[in-house]
């Protein structure tokens, strides 16, 4: 090994060591602000086991009468919010792709970053006073946040695509519309649709939380059961929510795998 290569290797190792030190220091700093004592950590497993033990057996009748309709509402919020995000994010994502529209990209990407910076639950808090309590506020929050995320991911997919079809269409005299129709969309659309499905999975989980602030869905039901210490009813909420989320994840994952493979 030459002296130059050895120097580069030592420099890389030194950089890795400094990164490790920085990560450890940040972890220690974060832990110091959590107000966690050793006795609380030791007692935590028993406390969690005792609390979750009160959830079982879950109240099946309550789950059938009250939980299932709320879960279906959460799915409706997530699905329609994802559709809104998908429809609006596709043109925005194409316009934000630097390899297609460099000028527009510089203006659109900061806007998308600003949208992503606001969590769904904060968006729901803003929308509830505007449109009132219920699923509509949750759908708007899910849809708006999905636009920011999906448009950014769409731009990333377009920027990493194979440029040769674009060059071929442009060389044959095709304009921007032809490039998008024949060179860009056939390449990127399967992966983008897979991202839409993945976002739907995330939105199902997010919609389950939005009910806490009155934006519809299962979150409000869970909050009420915990507020009144109705633990068997809360157990029904948790069990049914987990089952539905796992089922949606399994179906969506299979569809995404098929889309990407094809």
List Cβ neighbours of 205 (8 Å cut-off, separation of 6 or more). 245
The ranges of the chain with pLDDT < 50 are 6
The CA distance from 37 to 41, in Å, is 6
State how many domains the chain has: 2
State how far the alpha carbon of 72 is from the alpha carbons of 64, 85, 112, 136, 144, in Å. Answer: 12, 20, 30, 14, 21
Tell me, yes or no, if the pTM score tops 0.85: no
CATH code where residue 126 lies: 1.10.3720.10
Token representation of residue 41? 């950590």
Same-domain pairing of 29 and 137: no
Question: What pLDDT score was predicted for residue 85?
Answer: 92
The CA distance from 199 to 144, in Å, is 12
Per-residue pLDDT tens over the stretch 3-57: 555 455 555 556 677 788 888 888 888 877 777 776 777 777 888 788 777 777 8
- Asked if residue 87 is part of any domain, the answer here is yes
Same-domain pairing of 60 and 181: yes
- Asked if residue 210 is part of any domain, the answer here is yes
List Cβ neighbours of 95 (8 Å cut-off, separation of 6 or more). 101, 104, 105, 108
Question: What pLDDT score was predicted for residue 5?
Answer: 52
Same-domain pairing of 10 and 80: no
Same-domain pairing of 18 and 73: no
- Asked if residue 164 is part of any domain, the answer here is yes
Question: What pLDDT score was predicted for residue 42?
Answer: 78
Same-domain pairing of 203 and 169: yes
Q: How many Å separate Cα 214 from the centre of its chain?
A: 20
Same-domain pairing of 95 and 216: yes
- Angle between helix axes 68-95 and 102-116 (nearest 10 degrees) is 150
Domain of 257 in residue numbering reads as: 56-261
Question: What pLDDT score was predicted for residue 2?
Answer: 57
- Asked if residue 79 is part of any domain, the answer here is yes
Question: What pLDDT score was predicted for residue 256?
Answer: 77
Same-domain pairing of 138 and 244: yes
- Angle between helix axes 68-95 and 185-210 (nearest 10 degrees) is 140
Same-domain pairing of 26 and 102: no
Same-domain pairing of 183 and 220: yes
Per-residue pLDDT tens over the stretch 169-190: 777 777 777 777 877 888 888 8
- Asked if residue 44 is part of any domain, the answer here is no
Same-domain pairing of 146 and 201: yes
Same-domain pairing of 34 and 66: no
- Asked if residue 232 is part of any domain, the answer here is yes
The CA distance from 56 to 258, in Å, is 38
Same-domain pairing of 146 and 28: no
The CA distance from 243 to 238, in Å, is 9
Neighbours of 181 (CB within 10 A): 13
Q: Are 187 and 162 in contact (CB under 8 A)?
A: yes
- Asked if residue 47 is part of any domain, the answer here is no
* Cα within 13 Å of Cα(81), Cβ side: 36
Neighbours of 187 (CB within 10 A): 16
- Asked if residue 43 is part of any domain, the answer here is no
């Amino acid at each position: 090994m030459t002296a130059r290569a050895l120097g580069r290797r030592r420099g890389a190792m030194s950089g890795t060591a400094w990164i490790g030190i920085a990560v450890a220091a940040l972890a220690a700093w974060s832990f110091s602000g959590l107000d966690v004592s050793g006795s609380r950590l030791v007692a935590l497993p028993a406390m969690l086991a005792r609390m979750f033990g009160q959830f079982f057996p879950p109240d099946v009748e309550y789950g059938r009468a009250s939980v299932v309709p709320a879960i279906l509402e959460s799915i409706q919020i997530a699905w329609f919010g994802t559709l809104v995000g998908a429809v609006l994010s596709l043109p925005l994502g194409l316009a934000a792709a630097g390899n297609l529209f460099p000028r527009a990209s510089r203006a659109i990407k900061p806007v998308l970053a600003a949208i992503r910076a606001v969590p769904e639950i904060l968006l729901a808090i803003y929308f509830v006073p505007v449109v009132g309590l219920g699923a509509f506020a949750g759908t708007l929050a899910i849809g708006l946040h999905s636009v920011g995320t999906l448009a950014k991911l769409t731009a990333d997919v377009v920027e990493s695509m194979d440029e040769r079809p674009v060059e071929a269409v442009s060389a044959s005299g095709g304009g921007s519309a032809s490039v998008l129709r024949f060179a860009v969309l056939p390449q990127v659309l399967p992966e983008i649709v897979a991202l839409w499905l993945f976002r739907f999975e995330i939105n199902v989980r997010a919609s389950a939380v939005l009910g806490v602030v009155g934006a519809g869905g299962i979150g409000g039901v869970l909050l009420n059961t915990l507020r009144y210490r109705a633990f068997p009813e809360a157990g029904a909420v948790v069990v049914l929510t987990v089952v539905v989320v796992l089922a949606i994840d399994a179906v969506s994952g299979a569809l995404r795998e098929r889309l990407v493979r094809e």
